[in-house]
Amino acid sequence: MNFFLPILSAFCLLILIYSIFQSKKGNAFYPTKLLYPFGIFVWGDGIVISIFWLIVSLFCLFQKDSLYFWLFVCLFWAIRGIGETIYWLNEQFSERHRNPAAKMIGHKILKNESVYFLYQVFWQCVSVIAIFGVIYISKMLFLGK
């Protein structure tokens, strides 16, 4: 972890700079598929989330305990998953769709707007797994391994 966190910090700094650059070019809503594992879905996300991961990585580097890092990862995905669930619920019942159902992955399985169910349930599953991770890692961190 001592090797990984400084690299992550530098990577986050680069993502921050590039996210600002892309957003200023008008690409704030352009997808960033390679950055999805960091929770950065569009370049606008990168401005805030890269700062978050930079702070987390520096904090965990100084704490010298990798469990803190994994706790932050789980907390992040729990909150992000809940937020995405709400997003897709809103998308389903909105008059104006930012993500038309016909263009979404999964539309071949569910031919109408019920494709939004797939996204809602996926993000609910992410939230459950992440919340379990928070509980499990918290137990290890604060009650002993």
Q: Is the dihedral of CA 58, 61, 62, 66 positive or negative?
A: positive
Question: What was the pLDDT predicted at 34?
Answer: 96
CA distances from 10 to 39, 54, 78 (A): 17, 8, 25
What string of H, E and C letters represents the secondary structure of the chain?
A: CCCHHHHHHHHHHHHHHHHHHHHHCCCCCCECHHHHHHCCCEHHHHHHHHHHHHHHHHHHHHHCCHHHHHHHHHHHHHHHHHHHHHHHHHHHHCCCCCCCHHHCCCCCCCCCCCHHHHHHHHHHHHHHHHHHHHHHHHHHHHHCC
Place of tokens 């499990």: 136
Looking at residue 127, its pLDDT comes to 96
Tens digits of pLDDT across the chain (145 residues)? 678 999 999 999 999 999 999 999 999 999 999 999 999 999 999 999 999 999 999 999 999 888 999 999 999 999 999 999 999 999 888 888 788 888 888 888 887 778 888 889 999 999 999 999 999 999 998 887 6
Q: Angle at the Cα of 127 (from 70 to 124), degrees rounded to 5?
A: 160
Predicted pLDDT at 145? 66
Question: What is the model's pLDDT at position 1?
Answer: 66
pLDDT at 78: 97
